[in-house]
Amino acid sequence: MVNTTARITRGGKHFEILVDLEEAMKVRKGEPGANLASAVLTEDIFNNLKAGERASRDDLEIHFGTSDVMAVAEKIICNGEVVRTAESLREEREKKYKQVIDILSRMAVSPEGLPYPPERIKKALEEAKVNIKNKPIDSQINEIVEQISKVLPLKVEVKKVKLIIPAQYTGRAYAIVKEFMKEENWLSNGNLEAVVEIPTALSFDFYERLNNVTHGSVLSEEVKD
């Protein structure tokens, strides 16, 4: 278990907590099975964790709208910074690199419709000097495909889907759908109607993440051109 600091600055004041790195990243990413209670290792919110300076209840109410420690901790983890160790960053990069190779070898084909072996995908990633960012793969796959296409001609099968996201979940859900969004329409009741194009091979991961943050309340309908 690796412990680290999660922190955020609001109104010029710093707020910090001690967290379990792995569990905190699960909470931050909205992964299935994420457990906030397992992620948070302090019983208070601090202005300076190392010095033991606790934040006042008044400051928490002013800057977070609540003085509930777990509610504030969740906001710090999800909206602030979770400090990463060099080792965890290296492992994360390697994991994402392997994910990209696996995904592209499953969903990308040559102009003739033939699949590419993983070794060819890996070589193309290196040749194109693709920068895989520290965010979910499905949210950057279109950008990766665009970069790799400069050295390896390929095409990707996509699904076009219309989504209706309830108003109370649009904040976190928007971050998931925006990378695939082709159309967006905010309805009078606050719901978001969005048309997205998702690579077929990523459909399961996309819906899993979306359903996790909306508790399965999203309505979806495949759009036929």
Kindly indicate the confidence band of residue 170, based on its pLDDT and cuts at 50, 70 and 90. Answer: very high
> Domain ranges in the chain?
3-82, 86-155, 157-222
Distances (CA, A) of 109 to 149, 180, 199, 202: 11, 20, 12, 15
44: tokens are: 């208070």
* Confidence label for 103 from pLDDT (cuts 50, 70 and 90): confident
157-222 fold: Alpha-Beta Plaits (3.30.70)
Residue 77's pLDDT band (boundaries 50, 70, 90)? very high
CATH 1.10.540.10, applies to 86-155: no
Give the pLDDT score at 123: 93
**pTM score:** 0.49
Q: What's the rounded mean pLDDT across residues 197-204?
A: 80
CATH topology (fold) of 3-82: 3.30.1250
* Cα 11 to Cα 78: distance, rounded to the nearest angstrom: 18
pLDDT of residue 114: 81
Tell me, what's the pLDDT at 224? Answer: 81
